[in-house]
């Protein structure tokens, strides 16, 4: 009896504590702008990315010691979990002060819902319109307005290989076009090796976007995403059929469980090429301890020389952010040279700005930065990583692509993607 009474007492006290803490949160969450705190929601919790974020937090602390940084990181591949949690908070009108999104169309739904503020004024105030490449600005502008600040740039159109494998097979150089790839692939297959390794569904989509880019060229590729290129046109159908042919030389029947196991097959020499984004550089260098150029090498995926197929992590200002003034300071830091140079060398990406400190980027990143800042480089956006297609269309493309990989019907895939574009634009 005495024990149960004590338990009851404990419960009551605990309940009262919860109630008071809830109350104090309510009174603190009024809508007037406060500069004392900024809550940032991201999915940067893994090694490398978390280090980069911490470097930015440290920078914020030295520049603005009055601001406490609340790091609401949510673990989970490519932000799927963070996005689910964010959706709940946005629906409950309880947004963080700033949250992470892939730059581009991934944010389109938020814009439509009126969840995010127009940040064009920050671009004008900081001169970002000229400091970021024009191709990037064009891609992230929606009806003349920009709603997010890109912190880093990754590249999608890359083809990875081990130089020794090529020498052993007597291949002089990686292919410059997909046609050349198919010739090489036939020879590689004859020698009992896989020409190109592949992983789960999203890596198949990643390969598709770069085949389309390589076969159609920059203008038609860009047109695919704004309705100017006909998905059922003869050129697109031909490119899609080429994709089926390329896939037939891959190990798709026993595809790796993720992109790393797929890359492992290239490292082991069982497969020759792999098309993947440049986060693979950190994997090859860090996890696999291979040296750039000798141990592994990378070229632009076939037919995409002079093109930068990018994806980018960016931060937003939600409507009704409790600490708007502090959020603006955070976003300004995200777009600043110091902020980007603190974050990117640790994350293994390059800054979105073209005036970054080049000495901080070595090995592969130096090459990437040279390409990115080269004024003649053409910038296009990645489909798989949320830049060019909104969430709804992207999810419909997933369904269509799953069926296409299964049945190889290029015309049906083109029609399905075209129809869902019309329905979801």
Looking at the Cβ atoms of 90 and 153, the one nearer to another protein is 90
CB atoms within 10 A of CB 251: 19
304, 314 in Cβ contact below 8 A? no
Quote the least distance from Cβ 369 to another protein, whole Å. 32
What is the rounded CA–CA span in Å between residue 406 and residue 425?
26
CB of 196 to another protein, least distance (A): 15
User: Considering beta carbons, is residue 350 or 417 the nearer one to another protein?
Assistant: 417
The CB-of-227 to another protein minimum distance in angstroms stands at 19
User: With respect to another protein, which residue has the nearer C-beta, 221 or 404?
Assistant: 404
Minimum separation from the CB atom of position 358 to another protein (A): 37
* Shorter beta-carbon distance to another protein: residue 312 or 420: 420
Could you give the angle at the alpha carbon of 25 between the alpha carbons of 19 and 27, nearest 5°?
105
Q: Minimal distance in Å, beta carbon 318 to another protein?
A: 12
**Distance between CA 336 and CA 270 in Å, rounded?**
44
Q: Choose among 114, 198, 206, 117: nearest CA to 158.
A: 206
CA distance 365 to 131: 19
Closer residue to another protein in complex, CB, 63/415:
415
Q: Which of residues 113 and 124 has its CB atom nearest to another protein in the complex?
A: 113
Distance, CA of 303 to CA of 312 (rounded, Å): 22
Distance of CA 304 to the CA centre of its chain: 19
Distance in Å, CB of 395 to another protein, minimum: 3
Contact (CB, 8 A) for 400 and 232: no
Nearer to another protein, 35 or 201 (CB): 201
User: From the CB of 392, what's the least distance to another protein, in Å?
Assistant: 5
**Residue 367 CB-half CA count within 13 A:** 13
Closest CB to another protein among residues 167, 407: 407
Report, in Å, the least distance between residue 112 CB and another protein: 7
Closest CB 160 distance from another protein, rounded Å:
18
Please report, as ranges, the residues that interact with another protein according to CB under 8 A: 83-84, 87, 90-91, 109, 112-113, 115, 200-202, 253-255, 257, 265, 268, 270, 391-392, 394-396, 398-400, 402-403, 405-406, 416, 419-420
Least Å distance, CB 207 to another protein, is: 14
Q: 179 CB contacts (<8 Å, ≥6 apart)?
A: none
For residues 113 and 291, which CB has a smaller minimum distance to another protein in the complex? 113
User: Rounded distance, CA 184 to CA 163, Å?
Assistant: 15
* Identity of the residue, 175 or 277, whose beta carbon is nearer to another protein in the bound complex: 277
Rounded to whole angstroms, the Cα distance separating 273 from 206 reads 14
């Amino acid at each position: 009896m005495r024990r149960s009474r004590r338990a009851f007492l404990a419960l009551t006290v605990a309940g009262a504590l919860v109630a008071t803490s809830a109350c104090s949160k309510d009174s603190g969450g009024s809508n007037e702008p406060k500069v004392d705190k900024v809550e940032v929601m991201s999915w940067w919790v893994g090694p490398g990315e978390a280090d980069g974020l911490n470097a930015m937090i440290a920078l914020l602390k030295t520049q603005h010691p009055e601001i406490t940084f609340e790091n609401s990181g949510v673990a989970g591949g490519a932000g799927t979990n963070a996005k689910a949690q964010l959706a709940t908070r946005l629906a409950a009108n309880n947004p963080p002060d700033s949250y992470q999104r892939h730059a581009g169309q991934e944010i389109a739904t938020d814009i439509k819902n009126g969840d995010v503020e127009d940040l064009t004024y920050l671009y004008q105030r900081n001169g970002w319109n000229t400091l970021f490449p024009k191709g990037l600005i064009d891609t992230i502008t929606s009806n003349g307005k920009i709603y997010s600040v890109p912190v880093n740039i990754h590249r999608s159109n890359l083809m990875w290989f081990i130089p020794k494998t090529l020498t052993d097979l007597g291949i002089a150089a990686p292919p410059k076009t997909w046609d050349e790839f198919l010739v090489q692939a036939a020879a590689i297959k004859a020698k009992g090796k896989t020409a190109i390794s592949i992983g789960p569904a999203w890596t198949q989509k990643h390969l598709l976007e770069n085949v389309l880019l390589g076969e159609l060229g920059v203008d038609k590729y860009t047109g695919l995403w704004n309705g100017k290129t006909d998905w059922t046109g003869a050129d697109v159908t031909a490119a899609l059929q080429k994709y089926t042919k390329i896939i037939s030389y891959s190990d798709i029947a026993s595809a790796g469980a993720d992109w790393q196991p797929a890359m492992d097959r290239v490292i082991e020499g069982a497969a020759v090429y792999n098309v993947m984004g440049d986060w693979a550089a950190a994997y090859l260098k860090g996890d696999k301890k291979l040296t750039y150029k000798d141990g592994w090498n990378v070229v632009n995926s076939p037919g995409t020389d002079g093109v930068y197929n990018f994806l980018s992590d960016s931060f937003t200002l939600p409507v009704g952010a409790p600490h708007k003034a502090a959020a603006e300071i955070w976003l300004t830091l995200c777009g600043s040279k110091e902020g980007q140079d603190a974050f990117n060398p640790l994350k293994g990406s390059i800054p979105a700005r073209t005036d970054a400190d080049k000495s901080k980027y070595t090995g592969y990143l130096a090459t990437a930065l040279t390409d990115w800042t080269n004024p003649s480089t053409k910038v296009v956006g990645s489909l798989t990583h949320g830049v060019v297609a909104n969430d709804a269309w992207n999810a419909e493309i997933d369904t269509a692509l799953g069926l296409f990989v299964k049945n190889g019907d290029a015309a049906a895939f083109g029609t399905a993607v075209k129809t869902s574009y019309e329905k979801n634009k």
